[in-house]
Amino acid sequence: MSWKHLFSKSLAANPARLHFAAHSHHLWPDASHAGHMAAWDDAASLADHKWSKIMGPVWSEAQRHVAAELKLPDPATLSFAPNTHDFIVRILSAIPERPVRVLATDGEFHSFRRQMTRWVEAGEVVLETASPDALLDTAGSGEFDLIFASHVLFNSGTIVSGLDQLAAVARPEGPWVVIDGYHGFMAIDTDLSHIADRVFYLSGGYKYAMAGEGTCFLHAPPGYAERPVVTGWYAAFDDLALASGAVGYAPDGRRFLGSTFDPSGLYRYNAVQNMLDSQGLTTAVISSHVAALQAQLLEDDPLPGFELLNPLDGQPHARFLAFRGETALVLHDKLADQNIVTDVRANVLRIGFALYHDRDDVARLVKILEQLT
């Protein structure tokens, strides 16, 4: 089955390109164009009054889509922001003790690592890292204020298991557990219904939700981090009549909001979600399509001398294959010269798959890899 027709605009914009980096920058489906134009039309017709619609039906629809995907009991625990970094800063600001004692996996994304490193330099944070295999034991044996772990590691595709056990250590008084779901959301079926009262979960629409930039979200469990120190006026949207000098917060996930933002991502996200629903394209259906293409790529061992860090084993799998090898960067550049988009992290070449790929695309990629390796 081919789903290319859902991405006709993006594919037609560069028809010779093979884009195998959906895990990095997912091509936008046609539905996102319609959503983007709807945001413009509302801005033109409603002007100042557009925010009533954005913070009303547009916002609540986006909450419902996210909550349905993650099986969250209450959509109101969700808030949106331009990026996940904003949420990390606000979560940490709500922890009163300094320095904040943080435990994280040793495979977190650059933005998190950079911010933590700077906080360590400034004396704001004491950071301990652990491998995914050792994370649970370390979490149970140490005294931490914050435990942070990606569901799927960005560099290797490793899936961090034991989220239930990790959630078991969370307490409103600390530690708080934060799951970074950026490479898991809409790539792996995720049910948070039984741990939603104890864990934070953050992700965004840039990758497998296919909505582009500016559509990140946070699920914040009730009773945790009720007054972030880093805050903006949207977090008090329900309390604008407070006396001067009083700092009020929304009673739900909106307590993590900042200030004025570009709402077009929410329109794109809703439009794409509605398109997927109309086509019956659940996360499970898309994952099955991707898994078949990944297996096809691996049939003939197209990258001799490389180590596959996340082999296919019939279990839930990242939407990309991570190949480690000394010539990863060289191969990435050679592929780019032929208008084939992959990406490379240090000595790891990542090849990502999506709905807009079919068997012919994979066959073409395999043929070129055989010529280059």
Q: What is the pLDDT of residues 251-298, one digit of tens each?
A: 999 999 999 999 999 999 999 999 999 999 999 999 999 999 999 999
The residues near 136 (Cβ < 8 Å, ≥ 6 apart) are: 162, 165, 166
Do 87 and 291 meet the contact criterion of CB atoms below 8 Å apart?
Answer: no
Do 16 and 361 meet the contact criterion of CB atoms below 8 Å apart?
Answer: no
Task: Write out the H or E segment, with its range, that includes residue 95.
Answer: none
> In Å, what is the CA distance from 154 to each residue of 71, 141, 183, 224?
23, 26, 7, 27
Low-confidence ranges of the chain (pLDDT < 50): none
Radius of gyration for the chain, computed over Cα atoms and rounded to the nearest angstrom? 21
For residue 75, whether the previous peptide bond is cis, meaning omega lies within 30 degrees of 0, is no
Provide the residue ranges of all domains of the chain, joining segments of one domain with +.
4-30+281-372, 32-276
What pairs with residue 176 in β-bridges?
146
Single-letter code of the amino acid located at 283: T
Q: Which residues of 129-152 are buried (b: 16+ CB within 10 A; e: fewer)?
A: bbebeebbebbeeeebbbbbbbbb
What pairs with residue 130 in β-bridges?
105
> Hey, is 97 helix, strand or coil?
coil
Single-letter code of the amino acid located at 51: W
What pLDDT does residue 242 have? 61
The residues near 73 (Cβ < 8 Å, ≥ 6 apart) are: 67, 193, 196
Edge-to-edge strand order for the sheet containing 100-105? 78-81, 216-219, 199-204, 176-180, 146-150, 100-105, 125-130
Tokens found for residue 363: 């066959």
DSSP code, position 207: S
Mean pLDDT of the chain: 96
Q: HSE on the CB side for 301, CA within 13 Å?
A: 4
Question: 277: left (phi > 0), else alpha (psi -120 to 50), else beta?
Answer: alpha
Residue 42: phi, psi to the nearest 5? -65, -40
What pLDDT does residue 314 have? 92
The residues near 67 (Cβ < 8 Å, ≥ 6 apart) are: 73, 74, 75, 78
Residue 206 CA to residue 97 CA, distance in Å, equals 33
Tokens found for residue 114: 């950079």
Q: Regarding the domain delimited by 32-276, which CATH topology (the fold level of the hierarchy) does it fall under?
A: Aspartate Aminotransferase; domain 2 (3.40.640)
CATH of domain 4-30+281-372: 3.90.1150.10
Q: What is the pLDDT of residues 2-58, one digit of tens each?
A: 999 999 999 999 999 999 999 999 999 999 999 999 999 999 999 999 999 999 999
Residue 113 CA to residue 297 CA, distance in Å, equals 32
Residue 113 CA to residue 281 CA, distance in Å, equals 34
pTM recorded for the entire structure: 0.96
Single-letter code of the amino acid located at 105: T
SS3 string of 22-72? CCCCCCCCHHHHHHHHHHHHHHHHHHHHHHHHHHHHHHHHHHHHHHHHHCC
C-alpha angle with apex 243: 239 to 247, nearest 5 degrees? 55
